[in-house]
Structure 1
């Protein structure tokens, strides 16, 4: 299934413009802003600062779409025919099925398309702007390009802006870029036009949030011309109404059934030389009805509904029933990284100290359980290199770096005491600081313990994006200590020495204890080595402080004075660990023939490292030279033709924008692949819509992503997707099973009815082997209930060990069609032969007259033959449900029969169906007046003989198939 995607209009690259160039382009000034008159004129020109919608789908169109469904039309025909033959109960049931399906479909369609409303609700209601050289507050929808906007801590940014004044500004752009950490903004000019959104640090974007600081910017885009507006445009131009493969095949089947039913009616009248009578008309209608699987739509709906229930228990909410079937055909999964494959919990995993080398920290998440191991100069996890260390056995340098991690830190780590939380650990604060606080707990020196032991906070210099450092001053009983953490290049600029063991050495000495030359380059080499492992690297430093007498340590200290002459302690590598379930889930995908792609806003090195850990790419992949890992700017720069010439689409695409993800989905579609997309942010919603199956995260996902998706995972777990795919496959093959059961039963009934047209009574009328009531009752009670049971069959052991089905392996593959006719013909022959034997061999051959209308003394033989045919066909159809449990293997295998408790519905439907047969044959009045047959005796021998022959035939047929078909 493909979906229509249109290209977005190219945007003006304001991130490459200087402030002066931006002012000139937008005819405004950063100091004065716009005048009220100019703003009013631009409002008329550009429109209001709102996301536009198309008004939604009209309810009349939705309702018409439900009624115009070919299968519903077939049911309507069956309903009309049922009432025409005065089979009012059957007509009522079919009418109920039509109304039920239309209601479910209407509700699904009407409630699904809420994406634009969710996007509109994300906009800030007011905005601070400068107009007429005055700072004023206006409704956000009145903001126009050229306005000067002012942002403060906690604001939701109302439009895209080019920054010209920044003070410690950080914005949460996860909904656009997918990055879990806030973006630190600056005014640096960016030269690359194709720079990804996450790296446009001199810009802010509509609907993102100010986490820290304040700023001013010139509005460059409003409404649909913002980055989030481009997402909305993409969503509006994705065709979500295209039918799934299953829906297409069922519709084709419906058309074929309609044509076949019309042909059969003509055949019946042609045999009777187009002579009209009530009996002939009723028989023609009965033959047509026998061609129509009245319960098909209802059974498909029920099967999907049960699938939805099963997925809900597996923590996946299905928003569109058809998506379950689509999941079974998925060939490629395009997954976000943060929070989907990973835990979205930063954790410290590596340290490096001058002289001591690398350290490894075990444990994951917020749980402060783990140990520290010294690894020498290798960062490989080779067991013989590991040496467990503690604060008591480690160097004084380890003690200092743990103190710095705990004290230069505002995060809090707590253990929940609430009974329902089961003592789980929770954290409050910046993800990076949480990781350091957990490290301190693992080392046995948490911040609360240090404070209790005499460490008193005197002054704090919070993290500032302009210097990328944080510093604290603590007092102990006998000394003052300064601890500083931050980006390595900014920390080294404040350091004059580094610590090696218990010795402090100059950073730029000619000769040191362990290194010769400038030690700064050595440190940066270690930073690069850790970064190549996908780690975010922080540097820690400290120094002893001697306060100047009379200086106010709380308010009198200057930052430059505190952050100077520091001693470099070491490096800490932090990363977002994969979920424990991610690796097994990815491996199951490969076992099932499904490729996994990671599309993330993170840097290539981080993305590649996680991809290796979860087996998306091989562990020995050379990231710099491999085509499996590509940055978004390179991928986006490729034309469609160049992408199509790639031997394989990249497994990892880093620094993705919304358009990158949509482009990947389009590339997969051009290769005739069936794509699923997972995501959580607003930036993921276009690709969620464009994918064959969109899967959103329920916990961390935005409302927009959830409403754009087909399936929502309540546990945000990638492993749940594998369960969903397995359920999709199970459901598809179960639909294939019960469609085969229904259609082969219908074929058998039709053949019996048509062949019997050759048997004439004394008046020259055909002797009907089954009455109209018997045909309708058979479809309702003997075909549909076992079909429902087949829809609930558990998955086979090989369900997720086979590649995704291809177009040749669809619902009506050659083998399925062959089985339908082989089984149908076999059941027809074995049902018609007993009818003929009773009629001409075992009885007197008296065919009577008007036996199609009702019972008379001359119709005894005909009525007994009908009962025999009816009983035989009923038992064959019921036993055929067991055969349909497996397309190749025997349904009577002990391994399958002993699992009766796994599918009680199937077995109950067979048992109850067999029990219902006897009242139908033997209850006086019902048998002769309604079903036009009568009780039988010795004929049961023919019935059970036919059943035994059919079972043997099926086993032989499947044996031949296993030996001859691939």
Structure 2
């Protein structure tokens, strides 16, 4: 048969509506022989490599452009051009160096972060098993092409979209794609409807999903960006992700203000000189403009962010963009998943209830089958009794042993112990997490599946878990004896509501009680009065509620003896409907996914910081509420029913935006959550002008990660698409890491506030000196420069910028996580920051200019000289010494103000506060170096006269010291007044107050209204 031509760029074909033969014909492949190597190579050229392109990989020029496309950088570039235009090459060269250094640092940091994410993306599903040239081969996954015959086994990550043609007990985890938390049982049935949802395309498997159980073969139908995950990635690439963060917006506004102020100051300079142009006037005008621009600000912000990113990497968080960490500091609400983020994602059976024995407690954690089983009997109300009876391994009542046999044998999970030369090895597990938990329980009880198989139990037939019936059953033949073969048993497990419908009896000790009568354990019917189904189910429901309220997922076990009909094929001749009837109810097992130990302290820390936490999970409302209580998302004493803080996705999604907005409080727990529910929650928070963070791991979480102000993906369990959509990736999937990131974001923002106020105060001081200096004219009626252009640049770049960088790495204050999110404090430029900038700037400028006047008019009789702005002469002796005094005064005041800026209100000049300076090496070293550099600049011949336009001083140092003492005294007095008159920075609320506020809200909410909602 002639080969069909392979066509690229085809529209999506509904292969789930195709038969296997139609699919094979479409791609000209053979299910037995596969493709030849040559055919595969030809198709690779047509279809391209099988990998997600993300945003086309890391584009260096886009990363570089983000560093340059910044308002403040543009202003610096303009200042550079003006400096070169007036032949002030030293000034222009220094500013250009700052621009290049900032772009280089930002580019290096962001490019490395993107490269790290690219590496993480390339790690997923690196190989695939296919049939090539009629033999089974393992190839790089990116070399798979449409038409390949791909083979899947337990634990494999599926490398491409495939139409299945051969399966054995196949279940896949499609939670990353569909949000469905339970594994999906696959089949080969052809589907009629082309528009069938992904979750219902049971004859297909999809790229990046995983095989939970079984094995299969399939024909590759789509690769790379044509897969279902690739289509979502394509959609995400079209979303604009360049919206500025609050800090970026505020810095841009500041840059515009600085630019306008610089223009006004230039106009003032020319106005004072009657708008007559000369090089001296132009240089002075540019000097004033340069004094207004904090040249080091962009570099300091970038370096501070880079240090923050490195600190976050140490606590297992990858920050993809520098601005993301700052954004976390503004978060008012955190929307978190439950499994794996707040919990350990390690299912463990912790409780069991048998009608005849009551409750059992099981100890131990994780996959390690080490622990004990204790019988607790019945309970007092909802409280478990403390009197317990330990059950020895392999012992117990017949009812107990039969229930454990059901848990062990109706189970496909495997526990394995790896060999190790020095230890007994480590335990690992393969299979569904729920089945693993049951198998671990069986091991603890001494009824491990391998042991039962060794004793003679033989698997005859299996009816795997089916999401439509939510149960699984197996047929075993028990151990034989000398008298004959063993009896046959059917074991059943699954969701309680689906298992109980198959049961007509329930085990009560040695008696199997019917809903209409009773029979003995071996099947003989007694005449005693039976228990009606209604009363039994009422009793069982009560026990289920007790387990669910403890945060447990409840499974039901059942069994029955089976008498095979004569002549029937037990392997192939039985159907599910025949097997799963007349079952005997054995009991309930409660499986627990324990919260992380650090989750509750982290949530309480959020409350202290004025941040509210929401749990959005796919679990049952009772289970979700129980975990939420344990981690303090809701109060421990609240009821689940008709609680305004607890909703299902069905309730929340059914509400209109107006109804949601009318809620006094958004729900803290949303159960049975879907991806659309998460997006709706983010939209509701945004309409309340709140700053939201969202966590997610699946492809279906990507829209909510994009919609959130800060999207946080899980690095361990997260999909590639989720990581691409997120701003931050957690490598440990831990909620506590989010809180650490928030704390780090707040520290960074507080430090940015400190050094912005420090830098801008210095600029205000320089402006005060330069503008007031316009009033003094030399013998040629030109303005005398109180400071030269090089002095201004030296102060801005060498004196003030290094201490500002030191302020950028200042440790967090004690109140860092006890202050409200900054949206409640007017952002970066709060009233207090603006006030401090002006007050400190005016005081520093006033003291420095006062020293200029005293030096010039008191010590040197006011001689202005001739052309003192350009070169030194004897007539300029007084001006040059006055200029030096001004420069030295401002230098020491700037360095002192760096220490003063460590705290916005608290004293920084006490011995205790000064002692903590040793923890910030960058700050104190920059101050020491700044002090040392003053002296060579002033006293080195040639450098002082020709470059800085000043000369050495002697007794003028007394004025410098006096100005320093006056400034420190003023700063301490000013802070004292602020502490007495202004509202405290720390919030009064704490975790206890937040939980009490929730209780009050619940008590005041009409339960009828909640139920209607």
Of 497, 507, 516, which aligns to 1:499? 507
CA contact (8 A) 2:351 2:590 kept: yes
2:355 is matched with 354
> Structure 2: how far apart are the matches of 1:741 and 1:420?
59
Cα distance, 1:231 vs structure 2: 4.0
> Structure 1: how far apart are the matches of 2:444 and 2:508?
23
User: Structure 1 pair 315/68, CA: closer, same or farther in 2 (3 Å)?
Assistant: closer
1:901 aligns with 2:904: no
> Structure 2: how far apart are the matches of 1:262 and 1:476?
99
CA contact (8 A) 1:461 1:559 kept: no
User: Structure 1 pair 872/330, CA: closer, same or farther in 2 (3 Å)?
Assistant: same
> Structure 1: how far apart are the matches of 2:637 and 2:270?
74
1:331 is matched with 332
Cα distance, 1:958 vs structure 2: 0.7
> Structure 1: how far apart are the matches of 2:51 and 2:560?
53
Q: How does 1:479-518 map to 2 (within 5 A)?
A: 480=486, 482=489, 484-487=491-494, 488=496, 497-506=505-514, 508-509=516-517, 516-518=531-533
> Structure 2: how far apart are the matches of 1:867 and 1:477?
108
1:836 aligns with 2:844: no
> Structure 1: how far apart are the matches of 2:128 and 2:369?
39
> Structure 2: how far apart are the matches of 1:399 and 1:120?
43
> Structure 2: how far apart are the matches of 1:633 and 1:50?
36
1:470 is matched with 474
2:431 is matched with 429
> Structure 2: how far apart are the matches of 1:179 and 1:386?
40
Cα distance, 1:552 vs structure 2: 11
CA contact (8 A) 1:391 1:398 kept: no
Residue aligned with 1:540, SS: strand
* Deviation larger for 937-946 or 235-244: 235-244
> Structure 2: how far apart are the matches of 1:778 and 1:309?
29
Cα distance, 1:664 vs structure 2: 1.9
Write out per-residue CA displacement over residues 198-219 of structure 1, whole angstroms, 9 at most, x where no aligned residue.
7x697967545665579999x9
Cα distance, 1:240 vs structure 2: 0.7
1:915 aligns with 2:932: yes
> Structure 1: how far apart are the matches of 2:21 and 2:780?
104
Write out per-residue CA displacement over residues 664-721 of structure 1, whole angstroms, 9 at most, x where no aligned residue.
2222112111111111111111111121111111111111111111111111111100
Q: How does 1:55-94 map to 2 (within 5 A)?
A: 66-83=67-84, 84-87=87-90, 90-91=94-95, 93-94=97-98
2:296 is matched with 295
Write out per-residue CA displacement over residues 372-404 of structure 1, whole angstroms, 9 at most, x where no aligned residue.
343433387746444142237854433443344
CA contact (8 A) 2:371 2:444 kept: yes
> Structure 2: how far apart are the matches of 1:680 and 1:390?
40
1:285 is matched with 286
1:438 aligns with 2:421: no
2:587 is matched with 570
User: Structure 1 pair 157/757, CA: closer, same or farther in 2 (3 Å)?
Assistant: closer
> Structure 1: how far apart are the matches of 2:59 and 2:693?
28
CA contact (8 A) 2:505 2:585 kept: yes
1:799 aligns with 2:816: yes
Cα distance, 1:628 vs structure 2: 2.6
Write out per-residue CA displacement over residues 834-881 of structure 1, whole angstroms, 9 at most, x where no aligned residue.
111111123333332222222222222222222211111100000100
1:684 is matched with 701
* Deviation larger for 538-547 or 480-489: 538-547
How many residue pairs match? The answer is 921
CA contact (8 A) 1:51 1:120 kept: no
> Structure 2: how far apart are the matches of 1:552 and 1:687?
52
* Deviation larger for 579-588 or 626-635: 626-635
> Structure 1: how far apart are the matches of 2:430 and 2:118?
33
* Deviation larger for 103-112 or 587-596: 103-112
1:724 aligns with 2:735: no
Per the normalisation by structure 2, the TM-score is: 0.79
Write out per-residue CA displacement over residues 641-679 of structure 1, whole angstroms, 9 at most, x where no aligned residue.
333233322222333333322222222112111111111
User: Structure 1 pair 626/125, CA: closer, same or farther in 2 (3 Å)?
Assistant: farther
Cα distance, 1:943 vs structure 2: 0.9
1:658 is matched with 675
Cα distance, 1:801 vs structure 2: 1.5
* Deviation larger for 556-565 or 693-702: 556-565
> Structure 2: how far apart are the matches of 1:166 and 1:838?
94
Cα distance, 1:289 vs structure 2: 1.0
1:18 is matched with none
2:981 is matched with 964
> Structure 1: how far apart are the matches of 2:128 and 2:564?
47
User: Structure 1 pair 428/922, CA: closer, same or farther in 2 (3 Å)?
Assistant: same
> Structure 1: how far apart are the matches of 2:555 and 2:959?
85
2:686 is matched with 669
Residue aligned with 1:678, SS: strand
2:957 is matched with 940
User: Structure 1 pair 514/59, CA: closer, same or farther in 2 (3 Å)?
Assistant: farther
> Structure 2: how far apart are the matches of 1:57 and 1:458?
56
1:146 is matched with none
> Structure 2: how far apart are the matches of 1:741 and 1:438?
61
Gaps of 5+ in 1: 1-21, 40-46, 128-138, 144-148
CA contact (8 A) 1:742 1:783 kept: yes
Of 756, 774, 780, which aligns to 1:763? 780
Q: How does 1:287-686 map to 2 (within 5 A)?
A: 287-378=288-379, 382=383, 384-391=385-392, 394-416=396-418, 418=420, 424-443=426-445, 446-447=448-449, 455-465=455-465, 468-475=472-479, 480=486, 482=489, 484-487=491-494, 488=496, 497-506=505-514, 508-509=516-517, 516-518=531-533, 521=537, 522-523=539-540, 526-527=543-544, 529-531=546-548, 533-541=550-558, 567-686=584-703
* Deviation larger for 227-236 or 744-753: 227-236
User: Structure 1 pair 483/237, CA: closer, same or farther in 2 (3 Å)?
Assistant: same
Q: How does 1:700-739 map to 2 (within 5 A)?
A: 700-739=717-756
* Deviation larger for 536-545 or 66-75: 536-545
User: Structure 1 pair 895/509, CA: closer, same or farther in 2 (3 Å)?
Assistant: farther
User: Structure 1 pair 60/221, CA: closer, same or farther in 2 (3 Å)?
Assistant: closer
User: Structure 1 pair 895/516, CA: closer, same or farther in 2 (3 Å)?
Assistant: farther
Cα distance, 1:234 vs structure 2: 5.3
Write out per-residue CA displacement over residues 500-529 of structure 1, whole angstroms, 9 at most, x where no aligned residue.
345554454269999843475244553455
> Structure 1: how far apart are the matches of 2:427 and 2:211?
28
> Structure 2: how far apart are the matches of 1:419 and 1:916?
62
Cα distance, 1:295 vs structure 2: 0.9
> Structure 2: how far apart are the matches of 1:346 and 1:152?
23
Q: How does 1:859-878 map to 2 (within 5 A)?
A: 859-878=876-895
> Structure 2: how far apart are the matches of 1:636 and 1:122?
39
* Deviation larger for 542-551 or 253-262: 542-551
Write out per-residue CA displacement over residues 467-488 of structure 1, whole angstroms, 9 at most, x where no aligned residue.
6223433427789464724124
User: Structure 1 pair 113/411, CA: closer, same or farther in 2 (3 Å)?
Assistant: closer
CA contact (8 A) 1:176 1:658 kept: no
1:848 aligns with 2:865: yes
CA contact (8 A) 2:151 2:217 kept: yes
Cα distance, 1:457 vs structure 2: 3.4
CA contact (8 A) 1:748 1:827 kept: yes
Cα distance, 1:808 vs structure 2: 4.5
Residue aligned with 1:171, SS: strand
User: Structure 1 pair 474/808, CA: closer, same or farther in 2 (3 Å)?
Assistant: same
> Structure 2: how far apart are the matches of 1:205 and 1:379?
49
User: Structure 1 pair 376/856, CA: closer, same or farther in 2 (3 Å)?
Assistant: same
CA contact (8 A) 1:539 1:571 kept: yes
Residue aligned with 1:800, SS: helix
User: Structure 1 pair 637/382, CA: closer, same or farther in 2 (3 Å)?
Assistant: closer
2:251 is matched with 250
Gaps of 5+ in 2: 1-13, 29-46, 132-142, 519-525, 984-1013
Q: Root-mean-square deviation (CA), in Å? A: 4.8
Cα distance, 1:52 vs structure 2: 11
* Deviation larger for 270-279 or 495-504: 495-504
Of 839, 843, 865, which aligns to 1:826? 843
Residue aligned with 2:694, SS: strand
* Deviation larger for 558-567 or 794-803: 558-567
Cα distance, 1:428 vs structure 2: 2.3
Residue aligned with 2:918, SS: helix
Write out per-residue CA displacement over residues 452-479 of structure 1, whole angstroms, 9 at most, x where no aligned residue.
xx62332243352356223433427789
